[in-house]
Amino acid sequence: MKNIREIALEEHHDFVGAKMGMWLFLLTELILFTGLFILYAMYRVRHAAEFHAAATELDVVIGTINTLVLLTSSLTVAVGIEALKRRNRKLAKWMVLLTVLFALTFLVNKYFEWSAKIHHGIFPGADELLSRSQGEIIYFNLYYAMTGLHGLHVLVGMGILLWVYFLIARKPSEKVVVAPPNIEYLKGAQLIASKGEQESWVIDEIKDDVVEVEVVIKKDPKKAGVDIPNIIKLENAGLYWHLVDIIWIFLFPLFYLIT
Amino acid sequence: MASHAIDVQNAQENYLEVKGRWSGILSWIFSTDHKRIGILYLVSIAFFFIVAATIGIFMRLEQLTMGPTLMKPEVYNRLFTLHGVIMIFLFIIPGIPAILGNFFLPIQIGAKDVAFPRLNLLSWWLFMIGATLAILTLFLPGGLPDTGWTFYAPYSIRTGSEVSLAVFAAFILGFSSILTGLNFVTTVHRMRAPGMSFFRMPLFVWALYATAWIQILATPMVGITLLLIIVERLLNIGIFDPTQGGDPILYQHLFWIYSHPAVYIMILPGFGVISEIIPTFSRRTIFGYKLIAFSSLSIAIFGSLVWAHHMFVSGQSDLANIIFSFLTFFVAIPTAIKVFNWVATLYKGSIRFEPPLLFALSSIFLFSIGGFTGLMQATLPINVHIHDTYFVVGHFHYTMFGGTIWALIAGILYWFPKITGKMYNKKWIYGAWALMFIGFNTLYGAMMYMGWKGMPRRYYDHLPEFHTDHVIATVGSWFLYTGILVLVSTLIYALYRGAKADANPWGGTTLEWKTSSPPPLENFEKEPVVEHEPYYHEEAIR
């Protein structure tokens, strides 16, 4: 006789725990960028006019396109998660792939943007840049540091999404797994029998007057084609992707729109 | 022994005997068992401690005489940097959480393991990779960094020593620390046994919980700061370089936003250990449980708001100085709450004097000296006078070494029978204690004294007027070092030849004492159900 919580633990299926860990990790990522935002704020206060002048040299059109690309990619990954939750593996696969493509578009745009700047002699340590005012030098140094670190996160996000894509693309296992909302809902329940594709559970912690409730979990042949752990993996990957998105939402106005 | 201790001796294979997928050393370095990972950390961290302590001995030997006798100034600079980097990043920050926390946090809340066992193993691997990179700088052309452990810009940007690699190593170690913190927070929230409410958790768990939050919230800040040093050195992206409009003071701010809370990462778990030991050896429940628990959290919160007290002479504004000085005094309040509650717990307790209690009480005593001298330094006028002198060196060794390391030793002595199933020779431990206690106070007391007289820190040489003090300090360091070696040898001897230990040799009341020594692979025969507060003594043993 095993407690459902124990089964969940053995199979590493504490979905709430997994998500909590992910949120904590995102918090650390936010603070990582906070350091840069603090530096940006301090230097901007000191060199407000030079920051404005330097910002005019950035290409607002490419910046806007990239913002739209990232925002749309957040939508596609969200649709992908919902699709997988509804057991639509095919749609989920396409959506994740689309997200990866958007990420790639973003990086390609960034590449052209950076190379144009570097072509004009505006890169850290270049004589052209160092001949300018201190405020402009620090603006472009921050620009490269912050968009560079963000670009690195886009790259990592792409990698994670691709990994989850291959997990989803794999043929799902035949094993019957209790769906995550049920595991949470049935906390404290005991498994009393398990037979083939049908499992029976007895719950002892619903209300005081309820002594026994039987829940029969059947596999729906149409919806069975999803490995439950992949849902939480995609969801966590999606959370990471939203973080990458949200940081760009702040970078865009701070560098492009302050003219 | 406490009557309600469940006797599960020999019922299940203990974690040291279990045969897994791997054997030999692989069964350790690839194990996801939190207990084995705790021991991995113990062995690796103890190794780094001895290395850094030996470096300390060499620094003291240089100061035994005047002039460059043993080493040149450059070598001295590199040695105090290495001593600091190893002691801080490789020893004292991971220290208690990674060793004792890993081993006992899951057991104390009645769980089988931490929330993310594989991530836990990854943390140890990252730790070892970071350590390897840090030591690798020794063999590269630039050699060991010579900046001091703080890597202050702009010197860290200009120096030819291998700062980039050392800083990258610190970044990786920070990542390892973050993952441990993340793991602990999730474990505390998700893995508690039935009946283990937040206010039934042992205070060690509370301390680790508060520490884990600082690890999560503060470490990324130093991460980005260190990354910026690297990009500034490698890619010339000047953020702190004054010639490119950068401001080195901002580096100091960002650095201390992490590194001051980091001292609470170091000390809070030590307080947690003491809060476990005191009730066990007083045979009564802890006095002021909730206050101790909340004081951990409030130290974590206040401690995050005082970083600029490291920068009183950096040229920041007087207003900032006054605010940070004022806030620094606040940290003393929750700390004093803990000390008073420990003393109140001892009062009229049925005290059994054993080695863990001896080390715990010494830790409180030494930390109090460190704490009071800390308040002196929080006072602006005094700070200007003693800034960057040996007084500061003495002060932080009293807090970090006296507070944390003595608590760590107390914790290892307290839980040694549980971890290994063996008992050590107590007489040798008392001997080691005497050597360490005398050596410690001679060494760091002398440092404080000469610092007060004006001896600056980080100098490889000294003026004749400080000579006697330096000789006294160096002699003290020999006592201290010998004491540490006696302690370590006694424990290693006990590992092989020690008497078999009971499941509960001290009469402890928390969950780890209700399972066998050493614990089985999944910690308990069956999931424990918690019905009491953690320090519930059914009967006092006299």
Evaluate if residue A10 carries a pLDDT over 50. no
Residue A11 belongs to a domain: no
Residues A162, A191 within the same domain: no
- From the list B362, B375, B284, the residue with the least C-alpha distance to B335 is B375
* Cis-peptide into A124, omega within 30 deg: no
Evaluate if residue B310 carries a pLDDT over 80. yes
Q: Of B186, B237, B250, which is closest to A141 when you measure between CB atoms?
A: B237
B256 Rama class: left (phi>0) / alpha (psi -120 to 50) / beta = alpha
Rounded average pLDDT over B359-367? 96
Residue A81 belongs to a domain: yes
Rounded average pLDDT over B52-71? 93
Residues A178, A52 within the same domain: no
- d(CA A109, CA B138) in angstroms, rounded, equals 42
Evaluate if residue B526 carries a pLDDT over 70. yes
Q: How confident is the model at residue A188 (pLDDT cuts 50, 70, 90)?
A: low
Evaluate if residue B223 carries a pLDDT over 70. yes
Q: Which residue has the higher pLDDT, B420 or A130?
A: B420
Rounded average pLDDT over B143-163? 88
- d(CA A231, CA B459) in angstroms, rounded, equals 59
Contact status, residue A178 vs residue B285, Cβ threshold 8 Å: no
Residue linked to tokens 């007895």 = A202
- d(CA B517, CA B17) in angstroms, rounded, equals 12
Residues A147, A25 within the same domain: yes
Residue A205 belongs to a domain: yes
Question: Looking at residue A80, which CATH number applies to its domain?
Answer: 1.20.120.80
- d(CA A193, CA B296) in angstroms, rounded, equals 46
Please provide the average confidence, as pLDDT, over all residues in chain B.
Answer: 91
Rounded average pLDDT over B242-255? 89
Residues A156, A37 within the same domain: yes
Evaluate if residue A177 carries a pLDDT over 80. no
pLDDT value of residue B454: 92
Rounded average pLDDT over A150-173? 90
Name residues whose C-beta falls within 8 Å of residue B247's C-beta, 6 or more positions apart in sequence. A42, A43, B240
Quote the minimal CA–CA distance from A164 to chain B in Å.
Answer: 18
Residue A4 belongs to a domain: no
pLDDT value of residue A224: 53
- d(CA B95, CA B99) in angstroms, rounded, equals 6
Evaluate if residue A126 carries a pLDDT over 60. yes
pLDDT value of residue B158: 87
ipTM over 0.85: yes
Q: List pLDDT tens digits, range A59-74.
A: 899 999 999 999 999 9
pLDDT value of residue A235: 93
Q: CB contact, 8 Å: B463 with chain A?
A: no
Residues A195, A80 within the same domain: no
Residues A149, A179 within the same domain: no
Rounded average pLDDT over A208-234? 61
Residues A151, A181 within the same domain: no
Q: Of B217, B224, B238, which is closest to A35 when you measure between CB atoms?
A: B224
Q: List pLDDT tens digits, range A84-114.
A: 888 888 899 999 999 999 999 999 999 999 9
The reply to whether residue B238 touches residue A138, judged by beta carbons under 8 angstroms, is yes
Which chain B residues are within 8 Å of A42, Cβ to Cβ? 247, 250
Residue A6 belongs to a domain: no
Residue linked to tokens 């969940």 = A8
In the sheet with A2-3, reading across from the earlier edge strand, the strands are A2-3, A190-195, A198-202, A214-217
Q: How confident is the model at residue A15 (pLDDT cuts 50, 70, 90)?
A: confident
Q: Which residue has the higher pLDDT, B480 or B25?
A: B480
Residues A135, A234 within the same domain: yes
Q: How confident is the model at residue A75 (pLDDT cuts 50, 70, 90)?
A: very high
Evaluate if residue B125 carries a pLDDT over 50. yes
Residues A57, A185 within the same domain: no
Q: Chain A: which residues have CB within 8 Å of chain B?
A: 3, 6, 9, 14, 16-17, 20-21, 24-25, 27-36, 38-39, 42-43, 47, 124-125, 130, 133-135, 137-138, 141-142, 144-145, 148-149
Rounded average pLDDT over A220-247? 82
pLDDT value of residue A13: 61
The reply to whether residue A24 touches residue B186, judged by beta carbons under 8 angstroms, is yes
pLDDT value of residue A197: 46
Residue A73 belongs to a domain: yes
- From the list A147, A144, A106, the residue with the least C-alpha distance to A126 is A144
H-run or E-run covering B201: none
Percent of chain B with pLDDT over 70: 97
Residues A70, A88 within the same domain: yes
Which chain B residues are within 8 Å of A6, Cβ to Cβ? 527
Residue A238 belongs to a domain: yes
The reply to whether residue B238 touches residue A141, judged by beta carbons under 8 angstroms, is yes
Q: How many structural domains compose chain A?
A: 2
The reply to whether residue B221 touches residue A31, judged by beta carbons under 8 angstroms, is yes
Q: How confident is the model at residue A1 (pLDDT cuts 50, 70, 90)?
A: very low
Q: Which domain holds residue A56?
A: 16-172+227-257
pLDDT value of residue A201: 52
pLDDT value of residue A5: 46
Evaluate if residue B2 carries a pLDDT over 50. no
Which chain A residues are within 8 Å of B189, Cβ to Cβ? 17, 20
Give the torsion sign (CA, B380, B381, B386, B391).
Answer: negative
- d(CA B265, CA B456) in angstroms, rounded, equals 27
pLDDT value of residue B142: 86
Percent of chain B with pLDDT over 90: 71
pLDDT value of residue B495: 93
Q: How confident is the model at residue B212 (pLDDT cuts 50, 70, 90)?
A: very high
pLDDT value of residue B120: 94
Q: How confident is the model at residue B505 (pLDDT cuts 50, 70, 90)?
A: very high
Evaluate if residue A178 carries a pLDDT over 50. no
Evaluate if residue B222 carries a pLDDT over 70. yes
B387-408 b/e (C-beta count within 10 Å ≥ 16 → b): bebbbbbbbbbbbbbbbbbbbb
Residue A125 belongs to a domain: yes
CB atoms within 10 A of CB A64: 13
User: For B235, which residue in chain A has the nearest alpha carbon?
Assistant: A124
- d(CA B509, CA B530) in angstroms, rounded, equals 11
pLDDT value of residue A211: 45
Q: How confident is the model at residue B6 (pLDDT cuts 50, 70, 90)?
A: very low
Evaluate if residue A203 carries a pLDDT over 80. no
Most confident of A125-129, B16-20, B157-161: B157-161
Predicted TM-score (pTM) of this structure: 0.88
Residues A58, A143 within the same domain: yes
pLDDT value of residue A209: 52
The reply to whether residue A42 touches residue B247, judged by beta carbons under 8 angstroms, is yes
pLDDT value of residue B244: 86
* A173 DSSP assignment: P
Q: Which residue has the higher pLDDT, B361 or A183?
A: B361
Name residues whose C-beta falls within 8 Å of residue B179's C-beta, 6 or more positions apart in sequence. B119, B120, B122, B123, B126
Q: How confident is the model at residue A192 (pLDDT cuts 50, 70, 90)?
A: very low
Q: How confident is the model at residue B296 (pLDDT cuts 50, 70, 90)?
A: confident
Residues A166, A238 within the same domain: yes
Which residues are bridge partners to A217 per DSSP?
Answer: A199
pLDDT value of residue A225: 66
Contact status, residue B31 vs residue B102, Cβ threshold 8 Å: no
pLDDT value of residue B138: 87
